[in-house]
Amino acid sequence: MKRSLLFILVLLSAITANAYETDYQKSDSMLVMKLLNNARKQPANTNYIIYFAKQLKGIPYVAYTLEVNKKEKLVINLRQLDCTTYVENVTALTMCIKEKKYTFRNFCDNIRKIRYRKGAEPHYTLRLHYFTDWIEDNTAKGICREIQSPNPPFTKRQEINVYYMSQNPSKYKMLKDNPQYISIIKKSEININKKSYKFIPKSEVKNTTLLRNTIHDGDIIATTTSLKGLDIQHLGFAIWHKDGLHMLNASSLHHKVVEEPMTLYKYLQKQKSMTGIRIIRLNTK
């Protein structure tokens, strides 16, 4: 009986999710409903960011899962995740719990709100491609806020200078097929350039009382980079262990979603182009 009721809820919510073009499979809607149904049974003090982040462990890492249609659609794919879609899916699920809205349509609406500028209907030029843009737009929408203090550990400042997409359109299928989009992407780059944000240098990501008080379980970790034309290289969620800070992430190294066995300090030392971390906190209350 319970299984039949769940199926009916999935079917009804999936039908209503098509008010805008949505690309998903039945297994995606079933998993979303299962995750939300199980989350509602958890204790009131549950950290739902960590809860959902752990529930997605083991899902294969696959890049470019949003680049599958000639025309931009709202892609829902929990069968394959990259570091950005992992963060977005966990955020959308957490928002459902916070808002007490538990249908697949609610989840899709949250993904749209998170992924596109001002929560607009899906369009490639309105997708928040650079994570600095993602942070700013979702801060304006009340979804998150960036942590910028205290100093220390926020002792460095990142000057934003992004241009990779507009200068390398051949690397993006949608830009190759729609060259008229390039100038719009360029404008979005200009809008965030010359801004600056405090970050924690990777040499300071240590197991200290100061850092434990500064970074909370479930905070989004965005790794700053020395790669030209980019702002952020990788994303994940903070989780503290006895030996220090670790990261839940969709990992290209492990080819799946993992709770990285290495401390974040050790991980960052192995990544030459990663210079430190920015910290973003979801508004869960």
**For residue 16, pLDDT beyond 50:** no
pLDDT, tens digit, for every residue of 141-194? 999 999 999 999 999 999 999 999 999 999 999 999 999 999 999 999 999 998
Q: What local confidence, expressed as pLDDT, does residue 3 receive?
A: 53
**For residue 18, pLDDT beyond 90:** no
11 confidence band (pLDDT: 50, 70, 90): very low
**For residue 17, pLDDT beyond 50:** no
Q: What local confidence, expressed as pLDDT, does residue 20 receive?
A: 85
Q: Is the pTM of this model over 0.95?
A: no
**For residue 15, pLDDT beyond 80:** no
Q: What local confidence, expressed as pLDDT, does residue 148 receive?
A: 98
What domains can be seen in the chain, in order of their start residue? Answer: 22-143 (1.10.3670.10), 145-282 (2.30.260.10)
pLDDT, tens digit, for every residue of 102-148? 999 999 999 999 999 999 999 999 999 999 999 999 999 999 999 99
19 confidence band (pLDDT: 50, 70, 90): low
pLDDT, tens digit, for every residue of 30-80? 999 999 999 999 999 999 999 999 999 999 999 999 999 999 999 999 999
The three-state DSSP-derived secondary structure of the chain is CHHHHHHHHHHHHHHHHHHCCEECCHHHHHHHHHHHHHHCCCCCCCCHHHHHHHHCCCCEECCCCCCCCCCCCEECCCCCECHHHHHHHHHHHHHHHHHCCCCHHHHHHHHHHHHEHHHCCCCHHHECCCHHHHHHHHHHCCCEEEECCCCCCCCEEEECCECHHHHCHHHCHHHHHCHHHHHHHHHHHHHHCCCEEEEEEHHHCCCCHHHHHHCCCCCEEEEEECCCECCEEEEEEEEEECCEEEEEEEECCCCEEEECCCCHHHHHHHCCCEEEEEEEEECCC
**For residue 14, pLDDT beyond 90:** no
285 confidence band (pLDDT: 50, 70, 90): confident
9 confidence band (pLDDT: 50, 70, 90): very low
**For residue 6, pLDDT beyond 90:** no
Mean pLDDT of 266-279: 98
